[in-house]
Amino acid sequence: MKSAEILRASLKWGGLLALAIAVVGGGLGYLVDGNRGLTSALIGTAMSIVFLGITAASILFANRWFGTDLFVPIFFGIVMGGWLIKFVLFLVLAVLLKDQPWINPTVLFLSIIAGVIGALTVDVIIVSKSRMPYVSDVTLPGDEKRPN
């Protein structure tokens, strides 16, 4: 499995996970605090999946420059830029949503945490099953005689 395939699988399964968290979290939020809890769970799920999706999308976008002389600085510039965007966006949303009467902060927090832990679990499972080599361009003894 190539890195682009791994990231696409991560985005796909992360999206399905977000849907599951939205349904379960929204239902629990509604039971706890009515429409306020439902809204909080949906916003928290959307926040977590958008933030985690930015990372995979930025890596997929940065990989377009693979093989060029400036790949490494472009790659890290794009990925770090995505991280900074996520950080600023999170701070802005935290300040804007902090004292809103239509938000249940506990439900919002728990749905964000569920999204983050779930997405990390999905990523670990996908990467561990990917069989991606740890190193490249390695020649083992006897490989020089073996046809490619």
**For 114-126, how does the pLDDT look when each residue is reduced to its tens digit (9 = 90+)?**
988 988 888 888 8
Classify residue 71 as exposed, middle or buried by CB count within 10 Å of its CB (0-12, 13-18, 19+). Answer: middle
With respect to residue 145, please indicate whether it lies within any of the assigned structural domains: no
What whole-number distance in Å separates Cα of residue 18 and Cα of residue 76? Answer: 27
Q: What is the pTM of this model?
A: 0.76
Look over the chain and give the mean of its residue pLDDT values, rounded to a whole number. Answer: 86
| Per-residue pLDDT at 52 exceeds 70 | yes
| Per-residue pLDDT at 136 exceeds 70 | no
Asked if residue 14 lies in contact with residue 122, where contact means CB atoms within 8 angstroms, the answer is yes
With respect to residue 101, please indicate whether it lies within any of the assigned structural domains: yes
Count up the domains in the chain and report the number: 1
With respect to residue 74, please indicate whether it lies within any of the assigned structural domains: yes
With respect to residue 73, please indicate whether it lies within any of the assigned structural domains: yes
Q: Give the mean model confidence (pLDDT) for residues 54-76.
A: 88
131 — alpha (psi -120 to 50), left (phi > 0) or beta?
left
Q: CB within 8 A of 105, min separation 6: which ones?
A: 40, 98
With respect to residue 133, please indicate whether it lies within any of the assigned structural domains: no
| Domain, as residue range, for 84 | 3-128
Q: Give the mean model confidence (pLDDT) for residues 129-144.
A: 68
pLDDT value of position 59: 86
Higher-scoring residue by pLDDT: 145, 95? 95
